[in-house]
Structure formats: C-alpha cells, structure tokens
Amino acid sequence: MAVEGDICEGCGTCITACPRQVYEWVDTSGHPSSEKKAFPAKELDCVQCYTCETECHVQAVKIVFPGPTGWERAAVPIVFS
C-alpha cells in the first residue's frame, strides 16, 4: 500500500473511509500542499477492500501487496456486505 506524498492533499478521506483504521496522520511541515498527510501505519491490517483508494479524489492511494512477481494488486477486491 502506498500514499503518494506529493499528490496527497491531506484531506483525510482515506483515514475516515478505511474500515480497518489503517491510516494515521503524519506531520509534513513545510510541504507545499499540506502540513499533514495520511500514512498507512497499520498496513498489515489492510484487507484490500480498496475503499481508501476509490475514495481518494486525487488518486494518491494505491493498494498493492507483495506477491510472487513483486508488488501487485489483489486479484479480487474483498467486498464487505
């Protein structure tokens, strides 16, 4: 999972959207777009539901995980009902 810091505007959408509370704020003082950014502090708790990725309006979040050929996307997103 990755948050592109130069794209992230620090809106917090991924933080509030994540059902597993994977993200936390990190201080990015001096960054031109935001003084704080989301950071996947609890990345191992991610269930690849893609909610944070689909809700991010600037597409700063990408869900990937280590696989046999390197970093790749899950074959089928997990959907909560």
Given a cut of 60, whether residue 1 has pLDDT beyond it is yes
How many domains, the chain?
A: 1
Residue 23 included in any domain: yes
Round to the nearest angstrom and report the end-to-end CA distance of the chain: 23
- pLDDT value of position 75: 56
Residue 53 included in any domain: yes
What pTM value is reported for the model? 0.76
The CATH code of the domain that includes 25 is: 3.30.70.20
Q: What is the mean pLDDT of residues 20-48?
A: 91
- pLDDT value of position 81: 46
CA angle 65, 78, 13 (to 5 degrees): 75
Q: What is the mean pLDDT of residues 35-49?
A: 90
Cα of 29 vs its chain's centroid, Å:
20
Given a cut of 90, whether residue 32 has pLDDT beyond it is no
Residue 80 included in any domain: no
Domain of residue 16: give its range.
2-72
Q: Could you tell me which residues come within 8 angstroms of residue 1 by beta carbon, excluding any fewer than 6 positions away?
A: 22, 40, 43, 46, 61, 62, 63, 64, 65
